[in-house]
Amino acid sequence: MPRGKLLTDEEKGKILAFAEEKLCLREIARRLQRSHNVVRNFLANQQNYGKNKKGGPKKKLSLRCERRIINYSSNSVKSISKMISDLNLNVSRSTVYRVLKRSKFIKCQKMRKAPKLQPRHIAARLEFGRHNISTDWHSVIFSDEKKFNLDGPDGNRHYWRDLRKNPVKFSKRNFGGGSVMVWGAFCSTKMLKLAFPSTKMNSAEYTTVLENHLLPFLHQNNHVQWTFQQDNAAIHTSRATKTWLTSHNIPLLQWPACSPDLNPIENVWGIIVRKVYAENHQYGNVEDLKNAIIKSWNEISDQVRKNLISSMGRRLFQVAEKRGGTTDY
């Protein structure tokens, strides 16, 4: 027989008042137009009234089936519908979803991007790790370029939707409304001054950036034998750039291709992106975006910088551990 509606707080108060007046249970029930049993149950156990829960319907999946679902979904890109089909389950998508949601080990997560590593890339990464196992990373200057759009980075944007209100929409201009190219470099002791070259920077412009931003730092800190790091972009490996570096006696760190995970400045860019575009912030003009980038760059703390430099040993260890594969960085 289905359970009746629980007593309201007002009805509970009336029952207690009538009980103090010494009315019998049937009279109280008659006045409230409720059953005799509900009045009796409330007075017999006031503290726990309404708290007892039924066991619920019998589970549709056995523990063995649930384990099959967990094992099958491990690091899988298959949809729930595909899982049901492949495992020949006679249950709904909601049932399988609840199994995955209850699991401590399976979480829905956005897949991180990583370069496609060919055998030659893997071999180069392993060689890089072996060659630099004893490198003093405190004397290395890490560098990179990053493009920022006025409307923010591509990707999913989330917010806490109030279903009582109209949905919030993210308006994006064509091609991001404009963009800024940034060159940055840092080392264990300093964040070098940022440069804002054109979005179509060539070798000549790149060497100008190095002339105006790298050389002044090297001259001011000539008591250290610095090594300069750059990736294998075409403007970095061109004959003009190599000639410029050689003419200024700047040692260059041999860098493996397709290895952004080994460059700690990628983590710096990640910090800046989160700050610059916090709460889905958009910019009306390039100058405001530049100022926000500079402010976030200058706010990188000494501790963050030191932690990133000290992470190089762990990155190389992971390269060896994963046999040249992509690291967690």
Q: What is the pTM of this model?
A: 0.67
pLDDT over 60 (residue 34): yes
| pLDDT value at residue 170 | 47
Q: CATH number of 119-159+177-322: 3.30.420.10, 3.20.20.150, 3.40.50.720, 3.30.40.10?
A: 3.30.420.10
Q: What does the alpha-carbon distance between residue 274 and residue 272 come to, in Å, rounded to a whole number?
A: 5
Fold of 63-102: Arc Repressor Mutant, subunit A (1.10.10)
- 216-231 pLDDT per residue, tens: 999 999 999 999 999 9
Band of pLDDT at residue 1, cut at 50, 70 and 90: very low
- The 10s digit of each residue's pLDDT in 161-181 is 445 556 655 445 555 458 899
Question: What pLDDT, on a 0 to 100 scale, did the predictor assign at position 110?
Answer: 66
Radius of gyration for the alpha carbons in the chain, expressed in angstroms and rounded: 32
pLDDT at residue 168 in the model:
55
Q: What is the DSSP string of 182-202?
A: EEEEE-SS-BPPPB---TT--
Contacts of 143 (CB under 8 A, 6+ apart): 183, 184, 185, 214, 228, 229, 230, 265
